[in-house]
Amino acid sequence: MTSSSTPAPASPGASQSSGPLRRLTARGRDEAHRVSSPLELFFDLCFVVAIAQAGVQLVHAVAEGHAGDGILNYAMQFFAIWWAWMNFTWFASAYDNDDALYRVVTLVQIAGVLVLAAGISQAFQHHDYLVVWIGYVIMRLAMAAQWLRAARSTEGAERTMALRYACGVLLCQVGWLGLVLLPGPARPWVFLVMAIAEMCVPLFAERSYETSWHPHHIAERYGLFTIIVLGETIAAATVAVKSAVDEHEALGELLPIAAGGLLIVFSAWWIYFVVPIHGHLRASGQAFLWGYGHYLIFASVAAIGAGLEVAVEHAVGKTHISTLSASAAVTLPTALYLLTVWALHSRHFKVGIAQQVVLPVTALLVICCTLLGDWAVLAAGLVSAAAVATGAALTARMVGRERAADATAPAG
Q: Tell me the pTM.
A: 0.86
Q: Pick from 212, 245, 277: which residue ends a domain?
A: 212
**Residue 16 covered by a domain:** no
Phi, then psi, of 154 in degrees rounded to 5: -125, -175
Asked if residue 330 and residue 265 are part of one domain, the reply reads yes
Q: Could you give the number of structural domains in the chain?
A: 2
Q: Look at 5-9, 229-233, 302-306 and tell me which has the smallest mean pLDDT.
A: 5-9
**Residue 9 covered by a domain:** no
pLDDT at 248 over 90: no
Asked if residue 245 and residue 168 are part of one domain, the reply reads no
Asked if residue 221 and residue 176 are part of one domain, the reply reads no
**Residue 292 covered by a domain:** yes
In tens, the pLDDT along 32-74 reads 878 889 999 999 999 988 999 999 999 999 999 898 999 999 9
Q: What is the pLDDT of residue 325?
A: 93
Asked if residue 304 and residue 168 are part of one domain, the reply reads no
pLDDT at 86 over 90: yes
pLDDT at 404 over 90: no
Q: What is the pLDDT of residue 406?
A: 46
Asked if residue 253 and residue 199 are part of one domain, the reply reads no
* CATH number of the domain that residue 303 is part of: 1.20.1410
Asked if residue 207 and residue 99 are part of one domain, the reply reads yes
**Residue 10 covered by a domain:** no
Burial of residue 39, with CB atoms counted within 10 A of its CB: 0-12 exposed, 13-18 middle, 19 or more buried: middle
Residue 139: CB atoms within 10 Å = 28
The rounded mean pLDDT for the chain is 85
Q: Look at 11-25, 120-134, 169-183 and tell me which has the smallest mean pLDDT.
A: 11-25
Average pLDDT over residues 150-157: 90
pLDDT at 303 over 60: yes
**Residue 286 covered by a domain:** yes
Asked if residue 86 and residue 52 are part of one domain, the reply reads yes
pLDDT confidence tier of residue 285, bands split at 50, 70 and 90: low
In tens, the pLDDT along 119-145 reads 999 999 888 999 999 999 999 999 999
Q: What is the pLDDT of residue 352?
A: 60
Q: Pick from 179, 195, 212: which residue ends a domain?
A: 212
DSSP code at position 6: P
Please name the amino acid found at residue 193: V
pLDDT at 1 over 70: no
Average pLDDT over residues 204-212: 88
* Sign for the pseudo-dihedral over CA of 54, 57, 59, 62: negative
**Residue 199 covered by a domain:** yes
Distance CA 61, CA 69 (A): 7
Asked if residue 232 and residue 259 are part of one domain, the reply reads yes
* CATH number of the domain that residue 60 is part of: 1.20.1070
Judge whether 149 and 171 are in contact, CB under 8 Å: no
Phi, then psi, of 114 in degrees rounded to 5: -70, -35
Asked if residue 222 and residue 195 are part of one domain, the reply reads no
Give, in order, the Cα–Cα distances in Å from 41 to each of 46, 100, 256, 297: 9, 17, 34, 19
Asked if residue 220 and residue 176 are part of one domain, the reply reads no
Average pLDDT over residues 232-252: 77
Q: What is the pLDDT of residue 350?
A: 63
pLDDT confidence tier of residue 199, bands split at 50, 70 and 90: very high
Asked if residue 206 and residue 72 are part of one domain, the reply reads yes
Q: Pick from 173, 194, 212: which residue ends a domain?
A: 212
pLDDT confidence tier of residue 359, bands split at 50, 70 and 90: confident
Q: What is the pLDDT of residue 225?
A: 93
Residue 222's domain comprises 216-405
As a whole number of Å, the CA-based R_g of the chain is 23
Judge whether 78 and 136 are in contact, CB under 8 Å: no
Return the percentage of the chain with pLDDT > 70, whole number. Answer: 85
**Residue 412 covered by a domain:** no
Judge whether 342 and 357 are in contact, CB under 8 Å: no
pLDDT confidence tier of residue 13, bands split at 50, 70 and 90: very low
Residue 9: CB atoms within 10 Å = 10
pLDDT at 408 over 60: no
Asked if residue 61 and residue 202 are part of one domain, the reply reads yes
**Residue 399 covered by a domain:** yes
Give, in order, the Cα–Cα distances in Å from 20 to each of 35, 40, 97, 354: 21, 19, 10, 56
Q: What is the pLDDT of residue 97?
A: 87
